[in-house]
């Protein structure tokens, strides 16, 4: 059974810091991996999608990497801003392409 | 373009009642998936529908059912509500099933008393 773990559960940083969020999964047979952002009580916003054949994706200040063989992904956020404060969720799509399996998320707080 | 829309936004029901949640996907998207998110947890997969057929089902009891209509909108039905069904119910759509980016709606907050 696929399990997704995110470390740390919570993170507080001052504005301007670069930071890394970690995601690990137990079964390397995945279709793709997606990173989402969730603001309190709201839906999910897709940040980056990495196909299983890719190693990384970049969008603005965000860079996500994927090492399928070791079952790990990282989300790098450069020059953090207070507006980046949210919960970040990592999810892997099963090989059948039917279900996203999520971690519990990392709650990020960026102080000005 | 409008994103994924869900209705209602909030809902309060009592134990034993039935509830219907609705989702309209992004125009042109043929796949709709449903997820349940309880407080402090990541979303859990309930169903995926593609071209009006069920393509995937998560580990939820038969009290949960869904369907997709010819216009690709979808309904999630939950019978015999339990206190533990209180959660944020999220709908996601994608162009096709499989490896496309999934776009989530704002969710329906269900409270069961």
CB pairs under 8 A between A and B: 64
Q: How far is B80 from chain A (nearest CA, A)?
A: 25
**pLDDT value of position B100:** 85
Q: Which residue of chain A comes nearest to B107, CA vs CA?
A: A43
Question: What part of A 89-108 touches B (C-beta under 8 Å)?
Answer: 89, 91, 93, 96-105
pLDDT band at A41 (very low <50, low <70, confident <90, very high): confident
Mean pLDDT of chain A: 95
Long-range pairs, B25-28, Cβ under 8 A, ≥24 = B25/B72, B25/B73, B25/B74, B25/B91, B25/B93, B26/B1, B26/B2, B26/B93, B26/B103, B27/B1, B27/B2, B28/B95
pLDDT in tens, A56-109: 999 999 999 999 999 999 999 999 999 999 999 999 999 888 999 999 999 999
Residue A3 pLDDT greater than 90, yes or no: yes
User: pLDDT in tens for each of the 113 residues of chain B?
Assistant: 689 999 999 999 999 999 999 999 999 999 999 999 999 999 999 999 999 999 999 999 999 999 999 999 999 999 999 999 999 999 999 998 767 889 999 999 999 99
A2 lies within 8 A of chain B by CB: no
Q: Which residue of chain A comes nearest to B4, CA vs CA?
A: A43
CA distances to A5, A58, B49, B75, B107 from B91, in Å: 23, 26, 11, 10, 7
Residues of A in contact with B101 (CB under 8 A): 34, 46, 49
Please state the rounded mean pLDDT for residues A47-57. 94
Q: Decide if A98 and B97 are in contact by the 8 Å CB cutoff.
A: yes
A51 lies within 8 A of chain B by CB: yes
**pLDDT value of position B1:** 61
């Amino acid at each position: 059974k696929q399990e997704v773990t995110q470390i740390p559960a919570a993170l507080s940083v001052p504005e301007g810091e670069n930071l890394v969020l970690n995601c690990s999964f137990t079964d390397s047979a995945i279709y793709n991996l997606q990173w989402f952002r969730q603001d309190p009580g709201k839906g999910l916003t897709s940040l980056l999608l990495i196909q299983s054949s890719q190693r990384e994706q970049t969008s603005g200040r965000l860079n996500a990497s994927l090492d399928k063989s070791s079952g790990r992904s990282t989300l790098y956020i450069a020059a953090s801003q207070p507006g980046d404060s949210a919960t970040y969720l990592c999810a892997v799509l099963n090989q059948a392409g039917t279900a996203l399996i999520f971690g519990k998320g990392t709650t990020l707080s960026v102080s000005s | 373009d409008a994103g994924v829309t869900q209705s209602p936004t909030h809902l309060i029901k009592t134990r034993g009642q039935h509830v219907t949640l609705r989702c309209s996907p992004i125009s042109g998207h043929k796949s709709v998936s449903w997820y349940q998110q309880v407080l402090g947890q990541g979303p859990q997969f309930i169903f995926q529908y593609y071209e009006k057929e069920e393509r995937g089902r998560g580990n939820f009891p038969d009290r949960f059912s869904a369907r997709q209509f010819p216009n690709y909108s979808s309904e999630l039905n939950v019978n015999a509500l339990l206190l533990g069904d209180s959660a944020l119910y999220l709908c996601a759509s994608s162009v096709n099933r499989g490896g496309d980016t999934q776009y989530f709606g704002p969710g329906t907050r269900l409270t069961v008393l």
